[in-house]
Amino acid sequence: MALSQLWFGLNRNVGAFLCIKPENCARNELAQQPVRHWHANIIKQDYRKVIDPKYNKGLGFTHEERQKLSVIGLLPCAYRTEAEQLYAANVNFNSQESNMGRYLYLRTLRSRQERLYYRFVSEYVEKVMPIIYTPTVGAVCQRFSSIYSSSMGLYVCKYDRGNMYHVLNNWPGKDIRAVCVTDGERVLGLGDLGAHGMGIAVGKLDLYTALGKIPPQYLMPVVLDVGTNNKMLLADPLYIGVREKRCTGKEYEDLVQEFMDGVVSSWGHETLIHFEDFATPNAFKFISKYQDNYCYFNDDIQGTAATGLAGFLAVERITKRPLNEHLILFVGAGSAALGIGKLVVKELMSRKMSAEEAMKNIYLMDSFGVVTKDRKDFILPDIEPFAKDMPPLTDLEQVVKELKPSILLGATGQGGIFTENVLRLMAQDQKQPAIFACSNPTSKAECTAEQAYNFTEGRALFASGSPFPPVLMDGKRLTPSQANNAFAFPGVALGAMCAKPHTIPDEVYLITARTLADYAVEEYPDSVILYPPVMDAANVAFKVGVAVAEYLFDTGLATKFPIPDDVCAFVSGYQYNTALEPALPVTWKYPEQPRISLPKDDTKECED
């Protein structure tokens, strides 16, 4: 291993450092001894541990550790405590001039010192999440080929058909317990980004660890590269993916099936398979195909459903009006909106309502207008039950004027469609109009927080998919909530990975929604917030993880055996600790063995 590589791995040093303190010379003196070669071999092993981002502590190696590892001189003399390392990371992060710079700095930190990275993300989640996740991750995905410097995840392309097991097992991690896979066809609200979808798979799994505290070595981000229909990418000389139009139909579905089987045969049936940012018709198709037979979930439909329902439960609590008495208008009838709509129906049915009663006050609107019964064919079969018997209405303003919704949720990927007039109409008819602008990234939000508050005299209960800063109005600080599936998927994943089910039923998303809604009530009883603040997202993930695991154990769906007596302690024990560990950790200790005194030498002298 080249010395330069070592320095690079340790802390991006630019040379060797000679410290003249005599006690620090011990290792070098030792190196002159005859045992040198034997020792060098041991040290080589240690070196590997040191340059591995999992173990590397940079300036956090104590001087004793540096001596043991023979890295004295490869680091400057200073030792930094954890707090000092975090402070240094923060200084570096803040000194970047753009969010893209901050993202790239964090990737470098991640590739050098994994624990410090996750510690930093957890500690500064409010300012870091918008960088590693929406909105900056959207810009990263758009420019992925031009900023490409390392793979970050596994790329499985359509030409790997027949060799899936081989490709999956090229991944260096051997104990994979969750996979986040995308085919990049609908990345946030940015459309088809092909192999650039890796950015979002990496971002989601980063939140598994930052929020769910799931150990990163169990996680694998994957892009299924089946081509792209994005003309700009196809013409980009730097494009990193398959430069062909998307494959579809049987060829596509067979590849996805081979992927599912490859994961199961590589790491077992309990491996969590998280589908992200597939185009909506495929997303629904794969839920019906895989939900009952794999440890599988679709985040855009099911994770978003849990988050959306939790927001509606908060509206119900704040307005003191039962959910079924609210008129809900979904603008958008795709993965996000339809997923939420279906879960709201399940929630209302659990309150002893029929499906028809539950759907009575739920309206869907897509780019053709309100979904009505006279539609010839429905893009998705799941839309049809929501269709209403009414004359067609296509203009959003008109729809709001006529239906007078109390809850308006946008998931269209169309920035700004909640216009001033739409928002004013909402405020005209409702005391506390609930407005959810769920589309990501920020540029695609249906309205900004400022617009929502300004055009409703500050009365809106507002949440958005990407974060907005607080708004000052008449001396009052109005803080918007973030309605993002990041409040659901890390906890669902944590619970599922602990309990290891072979299937994740819809009840899990009801439980997730209720746990998230209860959290806000318990922690902020007097507040009118729709969701807890993002700085609480790790606590939410833990609560959701425990609730999901408990449900899976109680219903016999868990395959983890034996069933733990204390699920809370069990889930907590599974979690990742971001504290910097010793370089050469003592994993377990042996007790001192009782000593038996040696018998006296009673050998008789030889007679002959």
Ligand X SMILES: NC(=O)C1=CN([C@@H]2O[C@H](COP(=O)(O)OP(=O)(O)OC[C@H]3O[C@@H](n4cnc5c(N)ncnc54)[C@H](O)[C@@H]3O)[C@@H](O)[C@H]2O)C=CC1
Catalytic residues: 133, 204
Q: What's 402-461 look like in SS3?
A: HHCCCEEEECCCCCCCCCHHHHHHHHHHCCCCEEEECCCCHHHCCCCHHHHHHCCCCCCE
Determine if residue 484 is labeled as part of a ligand binding site: yes
Q: Would you put residue 477 in left (φ > 0), alpha (ψ -120 to 50) or beta?
A: beta
Binder among 92, 96, 108, 414 for ligand X (CB under 6 A): 414
Shortest distance, CB of residue 8 to ligand CC(=O)C(=O)O, whole angstroms? Answer: 35
Q: Retrieve residue 120's tokens.
A: 């930093």
Per CB under 6 A, does 142 bind ligand X? no
Q: Which is nearer to ligand X, 164 or 188 (CB)?
A: 188
**How many other β-carbons are positioned within 10 Å of the β-carbon of residue 286?**
21
Per CB under 6 A, does 454 bind ligand X? no
Shortest distance, CB of residue 210 to ligand CC(=O)C(=O)O, whole angstroms? Answer: 15
Q: Retrieve residue 368's tokens.
A: 């053709």
Per CB under 6 A, does 186 bind ligand X? yes
Per-residue string for binding with ligand X, 423-452, x by CB under 6 A? ---------------xxx---x--------
Q: Which is nearer to ligand X, 326 or 444 (CB)?
A: 444
Q: Would you put residue 474 in left (φ > 0), alpha (ψ -120 to 50) or beta?
A: left
Q: Which is nearer to Mg ion, 192 or 300 (CB)?
A: 300
Per CB under 6 A, does 307 bind ligand X? yes
Determine if residue 300 is labeled as part of a ligand binding site: yes
User: Which range touches ligand X (CB under 6 A), out of 100-108, 221-229, 481-489, 555-563?
Assistant: 481-489
Binding partner of 483, given ligand X, Mg ion, ligand CC(=O)C(=O)O, none, CB within 5-8 angstroms per partner class = ligand X
Looking at residue 487, the DSSP 8-state letter turns out to be: G
Q: What residues does 154 pair with on adjacent strands?
A: 222
Determine if residue 277 is labeled as part of a ligand binding site: yes
Asked if residue 221 lies in contact with residue 152, where contact means CB atoms within 8 angstroms, the answer is yes
Shortest distance, CB of residue 337 to ligand CC(=O)C(=O)O, whole angstroms? Answer: 12
Q: Retrieve residue 38's tokens.
A: 């034997």
Looking at residue 394, the DSSP 8-state letter turns out to be: -
Determine if residue 276 is labeled as part of a ligand binding site: yes
Helical residues (DSSP H) of 482-592, grouped into ranges = 489-499, 507-523, 537-554, 567-574
Distances (CA, A) of 486 to 306, 536, 538, 542, 544: 10, 11, 10, 13, 12
Shortest distance, CB of residue 290 to ligand CC(=O)C(=O)O, whole angstroms? Answer: 18
Binder among 156, 411, 425, 497 for ligand X (CB under 6 A): 411
Query: Taking CB under 5 A as the criterion, which residues in 262-301 touch Mg ion?
Result: 277, 300
C-alpha dihedral sign at 325, 328, 334, 340: negative
Distances (CA, A) of 117 to 101, 246, 330: 16, 35, 38
Rule CB under 6 A: which residues touch ligand CC(=O)C(=O)O? Answer: 134, 188, 277, 299-300, 440, 465, 484-485
Shortest distance, CB of residue 225 to ligand CC(=O)C(=O)O, whole angstroms? Answer: 19
**How many other β-carbons are positioned within 10 Å of the β-carbon of residue 522?**
10
Q: Which is nearer to ligand X, 444 or 543 (CB)?
A: 444
Quote the CA–CA distance of 216 and 190 in Å, as a whole number. Answer: 27
Q: Which is nearer to Mg ion, 160 or 300 (CB)?
A: 300
Per CB under 6 A, does 350 bind ligand X? no
Distances (CA, A) of 304 to 9, 234, 488, 512: 39, 31, 7, 11
Q: Retrieve residue 262's tokens.
A: 């490859």
Shortest distance, CB of residue 282 to ligand CC(=O)C(=O)O, whole angstroms? Answer: 14
Identity of the amino acid at 76? P
Q: Which is nearer to ligand CC(=O)C(=O)O, 190 or 260 (CB)?
A: 190
Binder among 412, 430, 448, 481 for ligand X (CB under 6 A): 412
Q: Which is nearer to ligand CC(=O)C(=O)O, 296 or 551 (CB)?
A: 296
For the annotated binding site for (S)-malate, the residues are 186, 440, 484
Binding site for Mg ion (CB under 5 A): 277, 300
What residues line the site for ligand X (CB under 6 A)?
186, 188-189, 280, 300, 304, 307, 331-337, 365-367, 411-414, 417, 438-440, 444, 465, 483-485
Question: Binding site for a divalent metal cation, residues?
Answer: 276-277, 300
